[in-house]
Structure 1
């Protein structure tokens, strides 16, 4: 415990914790994650998701959380830590918890970080931003299911026109929300985003002599832009894997998996693999981006299959209430005043 406390204190004081300015993957990487996930969606999801324009939209929306930066102190203090999750060299969070045993809410986690002597802003909360973004996509799909049912039943032409507009709006919102989920799924697969060694090894025990220079942005931004192609990422998207437990448990497992790549990344960096004139690191980074696309594809597919009982309005009506016939006025459910 003394050693771990020393590591925590050094990490909080080190340059590795000083900045939230770096962007995971840059515009190129985030766009590739979003687009390749959409291209890999399984059959059976809503048809609009497979449109060429939808794929492009998700790719562009995937950049949004980085575009949000520097909007103001209140805004940034809440959103900047969403991109990262500091895990120490034993794989524990800065609240002293294992990813498999996280506090129930973001607020609970912040309190646990403070109780452990840390700063929640520096600790990050990527686990919660991923969980939140996934829940929103699931909600979107649930609302869409009810709108589709309402359209199929509605005979009144003005009401039918309203419902079709509601569907268009929900589709647009869903693409945007998938883009936000895409961003955080991409962040999670950049190993430095899930480590106390965020931008160089920092002023921490360093027996392997890893770099202490600011390598975060050069690796994920310019290097990816110049050396990683769409085809490379496309070829590394894995087969569909549905989450066997809760979505939160699967998010935790993915973050822990990605954390195991921190040392391999720094070992590669030490060999010069990410130098501007080297192609050596491109295959490795393409593999990580392909993993991000695979994770996003899996989460979107899970959100659709698990949206069959989602609550769809402020009155607490669920998809199950509608499909069971408990609720008759579907127009009111969709448009309000139900």
Structure 2
């Protein structure tokens, strides 16, 4: 099944998606139904929910609604699972060369901002102070139930579906702040696209290869010009392994999102910048349109826009250096 959240007629709905690519329609599910609830239901329960929607709700063209993110994440763990991406982007962001040996030891991730999530066709503002805006083509797995210390089988049973993810990045901000040894922070937390809908795991099983990886074509365009193309099976770990690692000594819960990390071969601009030493293609700016597509899941397309006129976004001042005084002086003169 493909399951979506959307705005139509001034109301939010959860619906079943049917139809061929480019000609999809939505059928609203019964009141109270949720994407996670239907995706995680038994086969019989899911079939009953779909049957009710098809027989009881009129078809609404996808083009006539505003698609919301298919889930409102409880948390976002964004991994960096593609070796080719690391090879290129490490030069661009940190000035290093090659893949760090530690990358091979275990899947690395950062926590994204769940409040930054936008829908498949929403506009994305250039973040304050950014002059090197970039996209990142990823697939996201969605967790359907609470768990901890999952084994391989438990991890596989806990994933209820997949969606497309664009982990927008302000590369200049990211480069500066990560020199402190933390982050990314403001280089990442301004926008994250999820969409266009959630595709349940059974729909993607025909694309699983002999090694257990989903082998899906991933493509990117900027202003209708092709930029990147990769296979999701070029990742270093399967989604089940990413979830197994995430749950090691920690709780995961329904609604948690796990990003694959950016694919290789043009999955982002910074990878190409790192390989050539030149910002070509140029960084994104207002008016640019980024389209990302993953086979058997769907596509998202966001326009980059400038902040609204008059928006006040003053930067915090630089830290003051201190002489490490060990006695206290307050305004009243007491020590």
**TM-score, with structure 1 as normaliser:** 0.31
Q: Which has the higher strand share?
A: 2
* Bigger relative contact order (CA 8 A; separation at least 6): 1
**TM-score, with structure 2 as normaliser:** 0.31
